[in-house]
Structure 1
Amino acid sequence: MIDIKNITKSFGDRQVLAGIDGSFKPGDTSLIIGGSGTGKSVLLKCMIGLIKPDSGQVLYDGRDFLTSDLDAQKAIRREMGVLFQGSALFDSKTVLENVRFPLDMLTDQSESEKVDRAQECLRRVGLEKAGDRMPSEISGGMKKRVGIARAIVLNPKYLFCDEPNSGLDPLTSIKIDQLISEITDEYQITTVVITHDMNSMMEIGEQIMFLYEGHKLWQGNSSTLTHSNVKELNEFINANKLIREMEK
């Protein structure tokens, strides 16, 4: 369980987040949605410690991440897995080496244990035969799957995905959504996804938070998403539908 309470953040005189509250439950795929510049990526970075909010709390199973000492923060970070927007793979490392990188950095496992765990995660995302390939030799969708494998290699309790469908075709996007949802349910991870993808909202949005100009204007699930009386949310949904139609 992740709880965020009254998260605020400003850059200079521009307020980016204005008192954001929310809860994210284990086993649920929770989405944070909104247009560009609404604060959703800043909120994610506050949650994982890349940006320090001006005020508020980020609680991981009751542990206040922001006020914890460095050792406690490191312990919480070891329970996180992160899929970055651009996959963030090391070009000079093979697929297998990319996946095992967190094990090299954060564990004292033996060489064989790390290889076995990395291969296990590659099997889980359907890339068991790609371990010896370089990132330049695989497709964008495969890179996303490698990123997911790396994000789960430490058996995280919390999984964060920043625009996992960015740059992917609709069919590959659906497969990535399904994979994230399956892994979340299978391992009962608390998963938070930043997205503006309409298919993601309708198919895997078990909990959805809508941000607009730094404010949380709506929270619900995919079944209630299109029935809100929030003008800004309806405009956001209709714009996404139009974009999807133009892409067909």
Structure 2
Amino acid sequence: MIEIKNISKAFNGKVVLDGISGVFKKGETSLVIGASGTGKSVLLKCMLDLVTPENGSVLYDGREFLGISENERKEIRREMGVLFQGGALFDSKTVNDNIKFPLDMLTDMSESEKRDRVDFCLHKVGLDGTGKRMPSEISGGMKKRVGIARAIVMNPKYLFCDEPNSGLDPLTSIKIDELIKELTDDFQITTVIITHDMNSVLSIGDNIKFLYKGKKIWEGDSNAIMTAKLKEIDEFVFSNHALKKLRGEFH
């Protein structure tokens, strides 16, 4: 479980996050949603201690993460997996070596143990036999799967996904959502997803936190958001004709 308390952050006097609090539970896919510029990515960076908030606390299973020593921070970071928005693969490394990179940096596993772990993760994301390929030789959807494999290679307790469906076609996006949900369920990971993809919200939104102008103004699940009576949510959720039609079925 991850708990954030009263997270506030400003840049050049402009408030980006204004007292955000909430809980992200083990075994759930928790989504942070909102329009561009609402502070979603900044909140993620605060949770990862890549940006330091002016106020607030971030606790991983009760352990404070902000303001601790570098060694203590490294111990908690070993329990994290991160899927970056663009995949962030090393172009000069094979798929195998991209996935193995955290093991090389953070463990003293033998090479055979690393290979076994990489093969296991490739199998979990449905990419058996692709390990010798270069990133330039695989599709965008496959790159995201490689990114997920790298994110889970350390067997993390906490998984962070920044816009996992960015740049993907709708069918591939659905497959990525299903994969993230499956891994969360199978390994009982605390999963935090930053997204603006309503398909993700409706299909895997166990818990949804809606940010608006730096504040968390609503929280609920994928069913509750369809009947939420907030103008800001209406503007975000029902911004296309298909969803407006769907909204009519709930009223």
Equivalent residues of 1:100, 1:114 under 8 A apart = yes
- CA deviation map 1:7-62 (0-9, x unaligned): 00000110000000000000000000001000000000000111111110000000
Q: Secondary structure at the match of 2:238?
A: helix
Query: Which runs of no fewer than 5 residues in structure 1 stay unpaired?
Result: none
Aligned to 1:92: 92
What pairs up with 1:1-248 in 2 under 5 angstroms?
Answer: 1-239=1-239
- CA deviation map 1:121-157 (0-9, x unaligned): 0010010111000000000000000000000000000
Superposition deviation, residue 244 in structure 1: 11
CA distance in 2, matches of 1:103, 1:71: 18
Equivalent residues of 1:198, 1:240 under 8 A apart = no
CA distance in 2, matches of 1:169, 1:197: 12
Aligned to 2:248: none
Query: Which runs of no fewer than 5 residues in structure 2 stay unpaired?
Result: 246-251
Q: Secondary structure at the match of 1:239?
A: coil
Which residue identity lines up with residue 70 of structure 2 in the other structure?
A: L
- CA deviation map 1:206-231 (0-9, x unaligned): 00000011010100000101111111
Which residue identity lines up with residue 114 of structure 2 in the other structure?
A: K
Between 236-245 and 77-86, the greater mean CA deviation after superposition: 236-245
Which residue identity lines up with residue 128 of structure 1 in the other structure?
A: D
CA distance in 2, matches of 1:60, 1:240: 38
CA distance in 2, matches of 1:163, 1:240: 20
Superposition deviation, residue 67 in structure 1: 2.6
TM-score by length of 2: 0.95
TM-score by length of 1: 0.97
RMSD value over aligned CA atoms? Answer: 1.4
Aligned to 2:249: none
Superposition deviation, residue 90 in structure 1: 0.1
Equivalent residues of 1:198, 1:241 under 8 A apart = no
Q: Taking structure 1 as reference, are residues 113 and 244 closer, same or farther at Cα in structure 2, changes over 3 Å only? A: farther
CA distance in 1, matches of 2:239, 2:57: 33
Q: Secondary structure at the match of 2:222?
A: coil
Number of residue equivalences: 245
Which residue identity lines up with residue 190 of structure 2 in the other structure?
A: T
Equivalent residues of 2:237, 2:243 under 8 A apart = no
